[in-house]
Chain A
Amino acid sequence: MIRCVNLRKSYPLGHGRKQVLQGLNVTISPGEKLGVLGRNGAGKSTFIKLVGGVEMPDSGRIERKMTVSWPLGFGGGFQGSLTGYDNARFIARIYGQEYREIRDFIEDFTELGRQLKMPVKTYSNGMKARLAFALSLAIEFDCYLIDEVILVGDQNFQRKCHEELFEKRGDRALLLASHSPDTIREYCDRAMVLHQGNAHVHDDLEEALKIYEAL
């Protein structure tokens, strides 16, 4: 379970500060698939970064009773100057996992072949997405934090993601930030709508989508 209590987060903006989250409360149960809706700048990424522990809230707290992945997007999580293999080695080391297993998995999942020997900064966005996904799937978290943008790959990649994340790991929790009603309908059980620093969690997806579309 992950419990967010009274999360507040602001960023400097000119001479003042922009309040992005103002007292957000939400609980994510094991296996729950929660969609995160909101317009650009509503705080979706901020929320996901806070849950992932990448940034710290101004106040409030986050209790993590299950393992949580790092936020999956194009950036972050790996280092451009290192090769795909070196990134895998690094991840294996810091998460205390066997490198060979991770290597086999990413070779199989990403299908990047020799490109894995090149620095990650030479990869296309699609290739980065494959690698980021493969690395986090190789570690086996209880909860995955995903930004939708990363899911837009080619057909083959989408099929693999679907298979690995939603079928093989169907029992894991998921936080999915998205703009697309179809994606939310397909993958999520519940959805929260972020608006003006506050979040409302709706058990009824259609209701959440209706509110989101009205914003």
Chain B
Amino acid sequence: MSSFQQGARIQLRVIQALIIRELTTRFGRENIGFLWVMAEPLLFAVLVGLLWRFQKGEMDHGVNIIAFVASGYLPFVMFRSAVNRAQGAFTANASLLYHRQVKILDILIVRFFVEMVGHLMAYLFIGTVLVALDQFPVPHDLGFFLIGWLYYCLFTLSIISVIAPLSEMSEVLEKILPVSVYIMIPFSGAFVMNSWLTPSFRDVVMLSPAVHGMEMMRYGIFGDSVYAQYSFSYPWLFFAPAITLGLYLCRRLRKHMVVE
């Protein structure tokens, strides 16, 4: 077996072990555990959905308003909690670094993965309930939705691969970052469609790679009831350099990291 294959096998083993560990430490064995991931987005989506429902009526620009809020907010919560969990993740898991085969990238990937799967399950659950209540359409094209979700995930990964090491390097950043996630709201595409915006504002918003992923997801769900605008290639102009920078920062951080 080549040393690369062997290394890949070890990393897979480590990631698997870390996922199980993350789930046990985070949610414990008692309680409803994993289901907690769903509680917060569920509450928010339903409350805001209802609020808008009474303010604006049942439909907005031709789509069900509760469905629209849920489909925008759930990916955004995934992004937000992945960013929160990434900050200080390495220090919190420093004791794992006693085992040489555990790399800091494993820690980053695992934390992201747990958030991602948790929120995807939350989405599935909420979606099913809303479909049953006739407040959510049966997805127009599930595959297309998943491509959008993948783009949104790549965006999240790009951001956290930079934020996680930065939050360990500077205390100022560590304090500022949690707040700055909210700046992302207009650039996340969570609560509007591009086509609803004025052209000049739309041009600005379209610079955000997250919006492209969100529009793809919206098309996957609502189909031709919405006019989705996105590019498959543009977001890579952001992903590739951001992840490269992130990898560089992680490597640098690891070299100088003090492990108690």
Contacts and interface: CB of A to CB of B under 8 A. Distances in A.
A90 B17 CA distance: 6
Contacts of B260: 75-76
A184 B20 CA distance: 41
Interface in B75-117: 95-102
Interface of A: 11, 49, 52-56, 58, 68, 70-71, 75-82, 86, 89-91, 93-96
Interface residues of B, number: 24
Contacts, number: 62
A76 B95 contact: yes
B195 to A, nearest CB: 48
Interface in B95-151: 95-102
Contact of A82 (B14, B24, B259): B24
A56 B255 contact: yes
Main secondary structure of the interface of A (DSSP, over half): loop
A78 B95 contact: yes
Given A76-B260, A93-B13, A81 B25 contact: yes
B95 A79 contact: yes
Contacts of A86: 21, 24
27 contacts: A54-B97, A54-B98, A54-B100, A54-B259, A55-B257, A56-B255, A68-B100, A71-B98, A75-B95, A76-B98, A76-B260, A77-B95, A77-B98, A78-B95, A79-B95, A81-B25, A82-B24, A91-B99, A93-B13, A93-B16, A93-B17, A93-B20, A94-B17, A94-B102, A95-B99, A96-B10, A96-B13
Contacts of B258: 11, 55
Nearest to B97: A54
Interface of B: 10, 13-14, 16-17, 20-21, 24-25, 95-102, 254-260
B175 to A, nearest CB: 20
B97 A79 contact: no
Contacts of B21: 79, 82, 86, 90
Contacts of A79: 21, 25, 95-96
The residue in B95, B98, B255, B257 that gathers the most chain A C-beta atoms within 10 A of its C-beta is B98
Interface majority SS on B: helix, strand, loop or mixed? helix
A205 B21 CA distance: 44
A163 to B, nearest CB: 25
A52 B100 contact: yes
B136 to A, nearest CB: 38
Most interface-central of B10, B96, B254, B257 (chain A CB within 10 A) = B96
B166 to A, nearest CB: 17
A116 B99 CA distance: 21
A143 to B, nearest CB: 12
Contacts of A70: 98-100
Given A86-B24, A93-B13, A53 B100 contact: yes
A94 B259 contact: no
B259 A76 contact: yes
B17 to A, nearest CB: 4
